[in-house]
């Protein structure tokens, strides 16, 4: 499932390439036909992310809310802007007939030349597969596939959806106030802190990778009840989440190790197996103490931890 940094990158990409332009909205799959008719022809004002949810605001005030869930992704075609100056657009190549697509989902890979090729002669491409929503300008097409949620909301409904979510460091106006909310919500409950960090109503955007890595970096046992975690430790978790989220938004990579020098970091950016301390490393030695990393279920998700470092 895409984590918070990915959704923020999608919001930035859509704002760069769609905002300020009238957009043709369609539903090639047919499951979003009514919503597409409502949005078709409107100008996109901006796209914002809060946690794992995307909110695309149109000139009428209508808001397209999207939650990618486990399988959702956006494919972009045509002119696609790089998210970082001096670098190509990023994404994962699809099937051969989709070679001009930039995919924005859980994993990203460089797509050399995507931002420089311009609009191909066969643009716009024929929709391939189950495209729930297509947003198209004269130069860029964004296709949404496989979301768990996709709906049109009015401004009041959109605000209600945002208000249901916990604080997000990349969307918060006041980081100190947001930290206080998270501290209060975690320390008020007897639920394991590892489960609370995945509760989007407590803190927004943290997925399984960041959950495991944040708790390891804090040397905190995930099974500790929230009310037994000192407030200063919860506050430190929030501060660390803000740092990791900003780094993920900037790079498109969940690089969470704290033991890397500049050279090691460059190597880890290129090698997914070197990016994490415990996540995805069951049975492998902890990078700090050598104890085999544990994997166990917590609320139907895999939890990775070091039983020695995280006492």
Q: Could you give the CA distance from residue 304 to residue 310 in angstroms, rounded to a whole number?
A: 11
- Select which of 21, 189, 265, 301 is catalytic: 301
Q: Could you give the CA distance from residue 72 to residue 107 in angstroms, rounded to a whole number?
A: 12
- Select which of 9, 52, 217, 287 is catalytic: 52
Task: For the chain, state the CA radius of gyration.
Answer: 20
**Tokens 């605000």 sit at which residue?**
159
Of the candidates 145, 169, 149, the one whose C-alpha atom is nearest the C-alpha of residue 157 is 149
Q: Could you give the CA distance from residue 200 to residue 149 in angstroms, rounded to a whole number?
A: 15
Active site residue 87: no
* β-strands 140-145, 73-78 pairing: antiparallel
- Select which of 3, 106, 108, 213 is catalytic: 3
- Select which of 2, 124, 167, 222 is catalytic: 2
Active site residue 147: no
Active site residue 2: yes
Strand, helix or coil at 139?
Answer: coil
Which residues does the annotation mark as catalytic? 2-3, 52, 301
């Amino acid at each position: 499932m895409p984590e918070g940094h990915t959704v923020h990158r999608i919001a930035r990409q859509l704002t760069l390439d769609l905002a300020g332009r009238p957009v043709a909205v369609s539903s090639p799959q047919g499951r979003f036909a009514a919503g597409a008719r409502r949005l078709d022809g409107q100008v996109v004002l901006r796209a914002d992310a809060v946690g794992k949810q995307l909110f695309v605001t149109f000139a009428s005030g209508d808001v397209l809310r999207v939650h990618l869930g486990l399988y959702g992704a956006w494919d972009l075609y045509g002119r696609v802007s790089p998210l970082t100056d001096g670098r190509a657009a990023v994404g994962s190549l699809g099937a051969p007939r989709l070679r001009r697509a930039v995919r924005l989902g859980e994993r990203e890979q460089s797509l050399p030349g995507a931002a420089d090729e311009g609009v191909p002669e066969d643009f716009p491409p024929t929709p391939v597969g189950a495209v729930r929503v297509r947003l198209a300008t004269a130069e860029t097409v964004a296709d949404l596939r496989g979301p768990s949620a996709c709906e049109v909301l009015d401004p009041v409904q959109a605000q209600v959806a945002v208000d249901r979510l916990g604080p997000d460091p990349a969307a918060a106006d006041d980081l100190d106030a947001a930290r206080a909310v998270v501290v209060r919500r975690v320390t008020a409950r007897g639920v394991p802190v590892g489960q609370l960090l995945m509760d989007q109503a407590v803190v927004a955007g943290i997925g399984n990778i960041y959950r495991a890595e944040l708790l390891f970096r804090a040397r905190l046992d995930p099974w500790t009840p929230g009310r037994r975690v000192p407030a200063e430790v919860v506050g430190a978790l929030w501060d660390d989440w803000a740092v990791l989220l900003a780094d993920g938004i900037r790079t498109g990579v969940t690089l969470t190790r704290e033991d890397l020098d500049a050279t090691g970091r460059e190597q880890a950016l290129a090698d997914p197996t070197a990016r994490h301390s415990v996540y995805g490393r069951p049975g492998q030695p902890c990078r700090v103490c050598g104890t085999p990393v544990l994997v166990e279920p917590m609320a139907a998700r895999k939890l990775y931890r070091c039983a020695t470092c995280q006492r």
